[in-house]
Amino acid sequence: MNISTSFRINYICLTAAVGGILFGFDTAVISGAINLVKAQYLLGSILEGWLVSSGLAGCIFGVILTGFLSDKIGRKKTMILAGSMFFLSGMACAFAGSMPLLIAGRIIGGAGVGMASVVSPMYIAEFAPAEKRGRMIALYQLAITIGILLAYFSNALFISFSKNDFNEAGFTWFFKDETWRPMFLAMSFPSLIFLFMMIKIPESPRWLVSVNRTKKAAEILALIRPPAQAAKELEDIENASRKSFINKTSLLDKSVRLPLIIGIVLAVLQQFSGINAIIYYGPSIFKSAGIADDNALVFQVILGAVNLLFTFVAIRFADKYGRKSLLVAGLTGIIFSLIASGYLFYTGNTHNLWLLVFIISFIACFAFSLGPITWILINEIFPTAVRVKAVAICTLSLWVAVWIVGQFFPWILEKAGPATTFWIFALFSVINLFFSLRVVKETKGKSLEEMEAVFFAPH
Ligand code: BGC
CA dihedral for 450, 124, 363, 426, sign (positive or negative): negative
> How far apart are alpha carbons 316 and 313 in whole angstroms?
5
Query: What kind and span of H or E run contains 162?
Result: none
Q: Evaluate: CB of 5 within 6 angstroms of ligand 1.
A: no
Cα distance between residue 203 and residue 208, in whole Å: 7
Residue 217 within a domain? no
**Tell me: the pLDDT tens digits for 251-287?**
888 889 999 999 999 999 999 999 999 988 887 787 7
Task: Tell which atom from ligand 1 comes closest to the C-alpha of 145.
Answer: 12
Helix (H) or strand (E) holding 364: helix 354-368
Q: Please tell me the least confidently modeled range out of 158-162, 203-207, 412-416.
A: 158-162
Sort 106 into a burial class: Cβ within 10 Å, 0-12 / 13-18 / 19+.
buried
pLDDT for 174 equals 76
Q: How far is CA 237 from CA 124, 223, 401, 447, 449, in A?
A: 16, 16, 34, 10, 7
Tell me: the pLDDT tens digits for 385-424? 899 999 999 999 999 999 999 888 888 988 999 999 999 9
Q: What is the CATH number of the domain that holds 76?
A: 1.20.1250.20
Q: How far is the CA of 424 from the centre of ligand 1 (A)?
A: 19
Q: What is the Cα–Cα distance from 46 to 221, expressed in whole angstroms?
A: 52
pLDDT band at 291 (very low <50, low <70, confident <90, very high): confident
Residues 6 or more apart in contact with residue 429 via CB below 8 angstroms: 269, 272, 273, 331, 334, 335, 338
Q: What is the CA radius of gyration of the chain?
A: 22
> From residue 440, how far is each of 323, 335, 378, 432 by CA, in Å?
9, 18, 11, 10
Q: Is the pTM of this model over 0.85?
A: yes
pLDDT on residue 65: 96
Neighbours of 250 (CB within 10 A): 11
Q: How far is the CA of 276 from the centre of ligand 1 (A)?
A: 7
Who has greater pLDDT, 101 or 172? 101
Q: Is 78 in the pocket of ligand 1 (CB under 6 A)?
A: no
Instruction: Please count the structural domains in the chain.
Output: 1
Is 382 domain-assigned? yes
397 ligand 1 Cβ < 6 A:
no
Phi, psi for residue 193 in degrees, rounded to 5: -60, -45
Measured CA to CA, the distance from residue 135 to residue 128 in angstroms comes to: 9
pLDDT category at 166 given cuts 50, 70, 90 is low
- C-alpha to C-alpha distance for 314 and 299, rounded to whole angstroms: 24
Three-state SS string across 203-214, please? CCHHHHHHCCCH
Decide: 144 in ligand 1 pocket, CB within 6 A: yes
- Predicted confidence band of residue 14 (pLDDT cuts 50, 70, 90): very high
> Rounded CA gap, 73 and 80, in Å?
11
The pLDDT of residue 16 is 93
Q: What digits encode the pLDDT tens for the residues 69-102?
A: 999 999 999 999 999 999 999 999 999 999 999 9
Residue 335 has pLDDT above 80, yes or no: yes
How far, rounded to the nearest angstrom, does the alpha carbon of residue 193 sit from its chain's CA centroid? 19
Neighbours of 45 (CB within 10 A): 8
H-type alpha helices, 272-353: 275-288, 296-317, 323-346
pLDDT for residue 304 is more than 90: yes
Q: Is 49 domain-assigned?
A: yes
pLDDT band at 246 (very low <50, low <70, confident <90, very high): confident
For the segment 181-197, the average pLDDT, to the nearest whole number, is 94
Q: What is the pLDDT of residue 277?
A: 92
Higher pLDDT, 150 or 171: 150
pLDDT of residue 293: 66
Q: Is residue 211 part of a domain?
A: no
- Which residue range(s) make up the domain with 429? 3-201+248-455
CB atoms within 10 A of CB 400: 16
Q: How many CB atoms lie within 10 A of CB 66?
A: 29
Question: If you average pLDDT over residues 156-166, what whole number do you get?
Answer: 81
Query: What's the pLDDT score for residue 403?
Result: 92
> pLDDT-derived band of residue 294, with 50, 70 and 90 as boundaries?
low
What span, in angstroms and rounded, lies between the C-alpha atoms of 239 and 210? 11
The confidence score (pLDDT) of residue 3 equals: 66
Output the residue whose Cα is nearest ligand 1's atom 6.
371
- Within-domain flag for 425: yes
Q: Could you tell me if residue 315 is inside a domain?
A: yes
Taking the C-alpha atoms of residue 441 and residue 453, their distance in angstroms, rounded to an integer, is: 11
pLDDT (average), residues 178-204: 93
pLDDT band for 459, please (50, 70, 90 cuts).
Answer: very low
Query: Taking 60 as the threshold, does the pLDDT of residue 458 lie above it?
Result: no
Give dist(CA 377, CA 134) in Å, integer.
Answer: 9
Q: Determine the average pLDDT of the residues in 113-125.
A: 95
Q: Is the CB of 249 under 6 A from ligand 1?
A: no
Q: What is the whole-number distance in angstroms between the Cα of residue 144 and the centre of ligand 1? A: 7
Higher pLDDT, 458 or 324: 324
- Eight-state DSSP code of residue 178: T
**Which residues, in sequence order, are CB contacts of 81 under 8 Å at separation 6+?**
69, 115
In a domain, residue 34? The reply is yes
Q: What DSSP character marks residue 176?
A: I
Check residue 72 and give its pLDDT: 94
Q: Is residue 235 part of a domain?
A: no
* SS3 label, residue 187: coil
**Is the predicted pLDDT of residue 161 greater than 90, yes or no?**
no
Nearest CA to ligand 1 atom 9: 276
Cα 419 to its chain centre, rounded Å, is: 28
Q: Which of 208, 360, 233 is nearest to 285 (CA)?
A: 360
pLDDT of residue 109: 95
Provide the mean pLDDT of the chain.
Answer: 91
List, for residues 361-374, the tens digit of each pLDDT value: 999 999 999 999 99
Identify the three-state secondary structure at position 403: helix
Are residues 115 and 81 in contact, defined by beta-carbon separation less than 8 angstroms?
Answer: yes
371 lines ligand 1 (CB under 6 A): yes
